[in-house]
Amino acid sequence: MKHIFYLLVFALFFSCDNSSNEETKESKKIVYDMYESSEMALLMNQMFEYNLKVKEEILKGEIPTEFPIDFLKIHTAEMSEFKSRNETFQSFSKVFIETERQIFDENSTVDIKNRFNNAVNVCISCHQTECTGPIPRIQKLLIK
C-alpha cells in the first residue's frame, strides 16, 4: 500500500512538472516580425545589380546596347507602406528612364562614361529628397 502511495505521489509530481515545462517552452517562443521588401525596393536592387554589370562592361571598353525593359516598372511598382508616389518621385523617375535610355543609345556623341554617370547621378539626386540610406551604395556605381 505504501508503495502505491509513493508511486502516485511520484507520478503526480512528474506530471505537474512536465506541464510547467511545456508552458515555459511555449512562453519562450520568439516570434520574429520579418521585413518584406516592397516591389519598388526589389526593383531598385535589381537596377543596382544591372547597372553594376553595365559599369563593368563600360570599364572593359564594351558599349551596352539593350535597355532593360523591366526598368519601366519604376512607374508602377508597389512602394513601401510609408512611401508614396509623389510629384517629385514621378519627375525623377521620368528623368531616370530618359538618362538610362541614353546609356544604350548607340548613336550618341556623348561619352559612354558620362552618360552612365548622368543616370547614376539622377538616382543620387532622387534619393537625396527621400530615402537617403542607399546613397553611399549608389555612389559606388559612378565611374571615376
Whether residue 78 sits in one domain with residue 125 = yes
Whether residue 48 sits in one domain with residue 7 = no
Query: Residue 92 domain-assigned?
Result: yes
pLDDT of residue 29: 74
Whether residue 24 sits in one domain with residue 95 = no
Whether the Cβ atoms of residue 102 and residue 119 lie closer than 8 Å to each other: yes
Query: Residue 122 domain-assigned?
Result: yes
Whether residue 26 sits in one domain with residue 10 = yes
First to last CA, the chain: 92
Whether residue 19 sits in one domain with residue 59 = no
Query: What count of other Cβ atoms lies within 10 Å of the Cβ of residue 74?
Result: 20
* Distance (Å, whole) CA 103 – CA 115: 5
pLDDT of residue 115: 97
Q: What proportion of the chain, given as a percentage, has pLDDT over 90?
A: 62
pLDDT of residue 15: 54
Upper half-sphere CA count for residue 46 (Cβ side, 13 Å) = 15
Whether residue 56 sits in one domain with residue 98 = yes
Q: What is the mean pLDDT of the chain?
A: 85
Q: How many domains does the chain have?
A: 2
Query: Residue 81 domain-assigned?
Result: yes
Whether residue 112 sits in one domain with residue 91 = yes
Query: Residue 144 domain-assigned?
Result: no
Which residues are CB-neighbours of 101 under 8 A, at least 6 positions away?
67
* Distance (Å, whole) CA 21 – CA 25: 6
Residue span of the structural domain in which 21 resides: 1-31
Query: What are the tens digits of pLDDT across the range 112-123?
Result: 999 999 999 999
Whether residue 82 sits in one domain with residue 22 = no
Nearest to 85 by CA among 74, 95, 69: 74
Which residues are CB-neighbours of 117 under 8 A, at least 6 positions away?
142, 143
Whether the Cβ atoms of residue 74 and residue 96 lie closer than 8 Å to each other: yes
Burial of 54 (0-12, 13-18, 19+ CB in 10 A): buried
Whether the Cβ atoms of residue 96 and residue 118 lie closer than 8 Å to each other: no
Whether residue 74 sits in one domain with residue 10 = no
Whether residue 22 sits in one domain with residue 82 = no
pLDDT of residue 33: 65
Query: What are the tens digits of pLDDT across the range 27-84?
Result: 677 767 667 889 999 999 999 999 999 999 999 999 898 999 999 999 999 988 777 7
Task: Answer yes or no: is pLDDT of 14 > 60.
Answer: no
Query: What are the tens digits of pLDDT across the range 83-94?
Result: 778 899 999 999
pLDDT of residue 82: 76
